[in-house]
Amino acid sequence: MSVRKRTWKTAAGEERQAWLCDYTGQSGKRHVKTFARKKDADAFIAKAKVEVREGVHTADSDSVTIRDAADLWLTTGAARGLERATLAAYEQHARLHIVPSLGRVKLSRISAPAVRDFEDRLRTDGRSAAMIRKILTSLGSMLSDAQERGLVSRNVVRDLGSRRKKGVDRRADKRQKGHLKVGVDIPSREEIRAIVGALQGLWRPVLLTAIFTGLRASELRGLRWADVDLKKGELYVRQRADRYNAIGAPKSESGERTVPLPPIMANALRELRLTCPVGADIVFVSSRGHVRSHSNIVFYGWHPAQVAAGVVTPDGAAQYPGLHALRHFYASWCINRREDGGLGLTPKLVQERLGHSTIGMTLDVYGHLFPRGDDGSELAAAEKSLLG
């Protein structure tokens, strides 16, 4: 590997110069790269020496553009059987955000500053913080796929992300999100009591199941009668319906679980069973016998139930826009002490009821709701015991 100076004269007689990096890659192929400044050439050749020695160097001539890498990445996702909704999100991120901005850039030229510049442009264009995170995650996944194909030596998005997780960005993100709050993210006991009292008709069993089992919306929509045991008072989560109403397995192995049914819900399901067509498989079906869509449940069931119960915003709209608020309520109900109207379950049992993959996930989201042993009365008793 070497760096040499090249000089020449233009047609107008002006003398020009450049610095050429001449090196051989790990495949034995010779490469030449030109720089205007010697210090840039020296920096490149030093980096190339290390990468060639480690077998991770990718020359510009062997690389492909971001557009080409995106096509390969999406093809790989389809071949690996990713869910249709996941593939649709990846395709949208690539088509609307990544390719228009970076499509012509060679993978070998993607650097941490380039990713930061891309992120800044997304923010300037009005993308939300959540959307920017999703787009960068997709870009990182794309680079990981290209890295496995030998098209790029490093995944700068993952490198950048690993540094951020230990820095101020992660702490700032947590501060911005804050804890889930009763009355804002989680319906209160009084609100749930009013909503339950207002439920009627075909939406009563649907929303009672959401309230008293904490099923994800996809699990609720994919629930089968074969997975409901009214004699034992249990239901079993064994499948779910995605946004396209396609039935598939739960999100993870821990998603398969058993959830006990309180009497009010078991009775509602018994009544619903009597009105179901003979041979019906899915519990909550549409009038045409299909899986109910998520939007159908939200806009025709969940929102009107809140309005009927008076659980509304100052302008009269439903207080809680999404069904996930009911999953949050169920989690809080499991956590609250029995004397406060809850079940008083341990963190491990709450994790199992919710189908979280790890107890860390449960504690990250709901840890602040668990009763503490250092409230005022206990502190006063401890002080009195210590000091007399």
For the purposes of burial, counting CB atoms within 10 Å of the CB of 69, is it exposed (0-12), middle (13-18) or buried (19 or more)? buried
Residue 370 has pLDDT above 80, yes or no: yes
Model confidence over 264-294: pLDDT tens digits?
999 999 999 998 877 789 999 988 888 999 9
Higher pLDDT, 31 or 232: 232
Residue 176: predicted pLDDT: 55
Residue 374: predicted pLDDT: 59
Residues of the chain with CATH 1.10.443.10: 189-369
Topology of domain 189-369, CATH: hpI Integrase; Chain A (1.10.443)
* pLDDT grade for 324, boundaries at 50, 70 and 90: very high
Mean pLDDT of 203-221: 96
Higher pLDDT, 262 or 385: 262
Residue 241 has pLDDT above 60, yes or no: yes
Residue in 210, 230, 229, 206 with CA at minimum distance from that of residue 286 = 206
Residues of the chain with CATH 1.10.150.130: 66-177
The CATH number of the domain covering residues in 66-177: 1.10.150.130
Residue 20 has pLDDT above 90, yes or no: no
Residue 183: predicted pLDDT: 92
Model confidence over 139-152: pLDDT tens digits?
999 999 988 887 88
Residue 357: predicted pLDDT: 92
Residue 66: predicted pLDDT: 92
